[in-house]
Amino acid sequence: MKTTVSVIKADIGGCPGHSTCNQKLIDNAKKILLKSKVINDFYVTHCGDDLELIMVHGKGVNNKEVHKLAWSVFESGTKIAKKEEYHGAGQDLLKNAFSGNVKGMGPGVAEMEFEERKSDPVLVFMADKTEAGAWNFPLYKIFADPFNTAGLVIDPHMHEGFLFEVLDARTGKTVQLSSPEEIYDLLALIGSPGRYIIKAVYSKKKDIAAVTSTQKLSQMAGRYVGKDDPVMICRAQSGFPAVGEVLEPFAFPYLVSGWMRGSHNGPFIPVSQRDARCTRFDGPPRVICIGFQVANRKIIGPQDMFDDPAFDLARQKANEIADYIRRHGPFQPHRLPDEEMEYTTMPAVMKKLSGKFK
Ligand code: F6R
Ligand code: MG
Ligand code: MG
């Protein structure tokens, strides 16, 4: 049986500020998805101010009806957000009329279709206050680093490695690189997560293993409208990395760009759904993970994977790093380099000062 997992998300208004998503938006989304005949099952949550729709169905990726359903949830939620005067109501809905696919319209999308295995564990990661390339580091660790994933060495089904599909966000072109043979080329690209974004990972037999949302909001809107706050879907077990190997990279709170005004580097802190609320300096950038089994197009046993003391040390470390890096105030490398600040005041400041440069 072919099953599709679609994760479609948007920031349609925060409350208060850009910190979190009001329960009314979550309830409204659940109400609409429950009535729909288009999908077989769903799970609604939020990460920070982003409303996250996890949907399971049999209609394939880029399906018009599924995208239309997600768009209708965001449109309806935007009405509530506007009425209740949430902050940035309708922020990510960059277009008015739906034209068949939410891609390019503001919401983030990650989707994969696969033949259901006898047991199919899936992990969905959702982030707030960071960019699409934030998944480069963990995807490399999960699918290419034997110090992270023991299975790359000792599981005969994973020993041959994986294929990485990398998007150049500047040109829109993609390149496929094979691990372990081409890992140095791969790292040369994905070490620049602002430009090169891992879009998908496949087994050497071309089975889909992971997929990410790669939309760049600023490029779509032509101005800064908030960071991309990306999502990622990963399959696990039996030839793919184990659930614990997929979670392992998040035990290290690596640095990502985003945070306050989308213009700062900061630690990526893994949190429970309960703590998926951005606070200090509008962050720190957060990641949550919902794990479940997919069976007969149903979501079985969803679990809040970072709601666990095993990630306490990562959270403590993240807080230490946040404290340290925050003391740099407006200085790099806490603040992002100039090129990545183009949607801020930088051009205006330069224009004002241009006559004063002697
Ligand atoms: C970052 C983010 C926030 C806002 C900041 C200013 O992605 O959403 O850090 O950039 O709170 O928001 P406005 O301009 O709405 O006052
Ligand atoms: Mg927001
Ligand atoms: Mg957000």
The domain of 70 spans 2-348
Percent of residues in the chain assigned helix, strand, coil, to nearest 5 = 30, 30, 40
Closest-CA residue to 159 (of 279, 237, 89, 240): 240
Which amino acid appears at position 254 of this protein?
A: Y
Expressed in angstroms and rounded, the spacing between residue 118 Cα and the centre of ligand 3 is: 36
Q: 88 CB under 6 A from ligand 1?
A: yes
> What does the block give as tokens for 334?
């806490």
Expressed in angstroms and rounded, the spacing between residue 193 Cα and the centre of ligand 2 is: 21
Q: Is residue 215 part of a domain?
A: yes
Q: Is residue 103 part of a domain?
A: yes
> What does the block give as tokens for 151?
């299975």
Largest CA distance in the chain: 71
Expressed in angstroms and rounded, the spacing between residue 226 Cα and the centre of ligand 1 is: 7
Burial class (CB in 10 A: 0-12, 13-18, 19+), 344: middle
Predicted confidence pLDDT, tens digits, the chain (358 residues): 899 999 999 999 999 999 999 999 999 999 999 999 999 999 999 999 999 999 999 999 999 999 999 999 999 999 999 999 999 999 988 887 888 888 888 899 999 999 999 999 999 999 999 999 999 999 999 999 999 999 999 999 999 999 999 999 999 999 999 999 999 999 999 999 999 999 999 999 999 999 999 877 666 666 666 678 999 999 999 999 999 999 999 999 999 999 999 999 999 999 999 999 999 999 999 999 999 999 999 999 999 999 999 999 999 999 999 999 999 999 999 999 887 765 567 778 888 998 999 8
Closest-CA residue, ligand 1 atom 16, reads 17
What domain count does the chain have? Answer: 1
Q: Is residue 207 part of a domain?
A: yes
Local structure of 205: helix, strand or coil: coil
Q: Is residue 295 part of a domain?
A: yes
Closest-CA residue, ligand 1 atom 7, reads 226
Which atom of ligand 1 sits closest to the CA of residue 229? 7
Q: Is residue 8 part of a domain?
A: yes
- Show which residues are catalytic: 11, 224, 227
Ligand nearest to the CA of 224: 1
State which H helix or E strand residue 50 sits in.
strand 50-57
Q: 264 CB under 6 A from ligand 1?
A: no
Q: Is residue 284 part of a domain?
A: yes
Q: Burial code of 215-251, b = ≥16 C-beta within 10 A, e = fewer? A: bbbbebeeeebbbbbbbbbbbbbebbbbbebbbbbbe
Q: How far is CA 174 from CA 101, 170, 198, 224, in A?
A: 20, 11, 9, 24
Residues shown for the chain: 358
Expressed in angstroms and rounded, the spacing between residue 245 Cα and the centre of ligand 1 is: 34
Phi, psi (rounded to 5 degrees) for 23 = -55, -30
Q: Is residue 356 part of a domain?
A: no
Closest-CA residue to 172 (of 216, 223, 233): 216
Q: Is residue 358 part of a domain?
A: no
> What does the block give as tokens for 107?
């919401």
Global confidence as pTM: 0.96
